[in-house]
A and B are shown apart, each in its own frame.
Chain A
Amino acid sequence: MKFTSVFDIIGPVMIGPSSSHTAGAARIGRVARDLFGRQPKWAKIYLYGSFAETYRGHGTDVAIVGGLLDYDTYDERIKTAFEDAEKADLSFEFIPEEAHKEHPNTTRIVMGDDEGEMSVEGISIGGGKIEISEVNGFKLRLTGGMPAILVVHDDRAGCIANVANCLAMHNVNIGHMEVSRIERGLTALMVIEVDQNIEDRVLQQISYIPHITKVSRINN
């Protein structure tokens, strides 16, 4: 079952005009920021397929920048995201690409600040639902139908078990899990697909586990 909640159908509450090109885009921007762990100082936003062709009319651009500023899909400030970004010291550039990706609504956000850089590729699969397909060049295989937790952590023994334990304690069932190294011996990324949407307190508890640097989620 791809859609599990009535709020997938009656929802999300969002700024128009398109659930895939606006709400989905904002969500990708926001997950990217979450994964980076803080607001980046600069961002290069590559757009593919239908995103590249129609981003201006759909507000895909302001939505992604809004997401980078931590705005949710329904945040009215999405409309003024460009000006807000300037005030927040975030510079950005949109680069529509000719190349075709597997899915028509794809964006790759390369962002950074004085302390680091990260690239996150996301696709908007419809009705505001998104998938994250790549982080720092590492391919992720998220089915998109299930909610997922993304955990950036130090590449150390025990991290994975601790996170799994924490989820077990909250009765969260893991459907699929993948770990990839972003920088060998330094940082790794855990992608965990789960059966139900994750509550804030579970995320918070994961973030308290030693060697966990960032936690983000994609609820469905």
Chain B
Amino acid sequence: MDVLFQNVRELVERAEQEGKLISEIMIEQEIAITGRSREEIMKQMDRNLTVMEEAVERGLQGVQSVTGLTGGDAVLLQKYIASGKSLAGDLLLDAVSKAVATNEVNAAMGTICATPTAGSAGVVPGTLFAIQHKLNPTREQMINFLFTSGAFGFVVANNASISGAAGGCQAEVGSAAGMAAAAIVEMAGGTPQQCAEGFAITLKNMLGLVCDPVAGLVEVPCVKRNAMGASNAIVAADMALAGITSRIPCDEVIGAMYRIGESMNPDLKETARGGLAATPTGKALAAKIFGGAVVQGQ
């Protein structure tokens, strides 16, 4: 198997030496590994992008999950933005709202594209569809956004983990946020090295985040974690584009994330035994959902 990069350093070096975008290196690697044509690969990513667009659209119309634990927050945020009173700024809140929209649709058993997992599926599309209005990218640039995210996710998945059960939420939403930051930097015209800085700055600030879903469901705190993941990504991207670098290189941050995940107590890794899941309210909600009148997953 021809692997073009094993870590972020190799990915950035290759892109800079060949004067290519990170997304382009990812596409070339996909061609090399799978033997599929560029056209086929672009088409599949185009389809994934469409799924993401449809999910956000649906979430912004308002959805409720089967359990009633989540839903409706994306709409609340959009209304708040429209009121003109937002403190954080419209773009940032738009990204947050669209990230929430995706996760609300996910919790309601709607169709989403896992990025890198279903629980963390909101961050990448949320940020993409918000900065879209500022940067006016072409369809191809939007597809490339997903390849750049994928390139960083690929490194994390193979060198650390993208699963909450294995590494806590830092591995899921943390990775997703880092991936989004890197892709935002590329779309905004930053260098490959700046993409890596954006990733590193984001992940550094999500290290240690535990996976503690109430009742074991991908709802609480997952939806709001995606919200904060999206805002974290945009701020870190801005920092990288401003020329700020991470003192700890990107690959070492990923290594730290892996080791933190390894030493994390199993109660805090998707078992619903610790953290928010083990709070009095978390336990009461779990009892209510699974105890008496059970809502069938339909």
A→B interface (CB under 8 Å): 1-20, 22-23, 50, 53-62, 74, 76, 78-80, 82, 104, 126-128, 195-197
Q: Is B132 on the interface with A (CB-CB < 8 A)?
A: no
Q: Which of B151-159, B190-198, B230-238, B257-265 touches A? A: B151-159
8 smallest CB-CB distances across A and B, nearest first, come from A16-B106, A59-B297, A9-B153, A54-B216, A6-B150, A126-B163, A19-B118, A3-B157
- Known pairs A54-B217, A59-B109, A127-B157. 15 more at Cβ < 8 A? A4-B34, A13-B48, A15-B109, A15-B110, A16-B106, A16-B110, A16-B118, A18-B218, A23-B118, A55-B297, A58-B216, A76-B111, A127-B117, A127-B163, A197-B34
Q: Please, what's the 1-or-0 string for B179-195, where 1 marks a CB less than 8 Å from any CB in chain A? A: 10000000000000000
In the complex, are the beta carbons of B290 and A127 less than 8 A apart?
A: no
The contact of A14 among B34, B45, B118, B149, by CB within 8 Å, is B118
The contact of B153 among A10, A14, A62, A82, by CB within 8 Å, is A10
In the complex, are the beta carbons of A18 and B118 less than 8 A apart?
A: yes
Q: Is B56 on the interface with A (CB-CB < 8 A)?
A: no
CB distance from A73 to the nearest CB of B (A): 9
Q: Is B272 on the interface with A (CB-CB < 8 A)?
A: yes
Residue of B nearest to A126 (CB): B163
Q: Is B35 on the interface with A (CB-CB < 8 A)?
A: yes
The contact of B65 among A5, A17, A62, A76, by CB within 8 Å, is A17
- In the complex, which residues of chain B have a beta carbon less than 8 angstroms from the beta carbon of A58? 216-218, 297
The contact of B112 among A13, A56, A57, by CB within 8 Å, is A13
In the complex, are the beta carbons of A14 and B112 less than 8 A apart?
A: yes
Residue of A nearest to B3 (CB): A1
In the complex the two chains form, what is the Cα distance from A183 to B166 in whole Å? Answer: 38
- In the complex, which residues of chain A have a beta carbon less than 8 angstroms from the beta carbon of B298? 62, 79-80, 82
CB distance from B164 to the nearest CB of A (A): 9
In the complex, are the beta carbons of B151 and A6 less than 8 A apart?
A: yes
Q: Is B26 on the interface with A (CB-CB < 8 A)?
A: yes
Residue of A nearest to B289 (CB): A57
Residue of B nearest to A74 (CB): B111
Assuming A18-B218, A197-B34, is B110 touching A2 (CB within 8 A)? no
In the complex, are the beta carbons of A196 and B33 less than 8 A apart?
A: yes
In the complex the two chains form, what is the Cα distance from A29 to B114 in whole Å? Answer: 20
Assuming A1-B158, A17-B65, A56-B290, is B146 touching A10 (CB within 8 A)? yes
In the complex, are the beta carbons of A57 and B297 less than 8 A apart?
A: yes
Q: Is B281 on the interface with A (CB-CB < 8 A)?
A: no
- In the complex, which residues of chain A have a beta carbon less than 8 angstroms from the beta carbon of B165? 20, 104, 126
In the complex, are the beta carbons of A19 and B114 less than 8 A apart?
A: yes
Q: Is B241 on the interface with A (CB-CB < 8 A)?
A: no
Q: Is B30 on the interface with A (CB-CB < 8 A)?
A: yes
Q: Is B107 on the interface with A (CB-CB < 8 A)?
A: yes
- In the complex, which residues of chain A have a beta carbon less than 8 angstroms from the beta carbon of B34? 4-5, 196-197
In the complex, are the beta carbons of B109 and A13 less than 8 A apart?
A: no
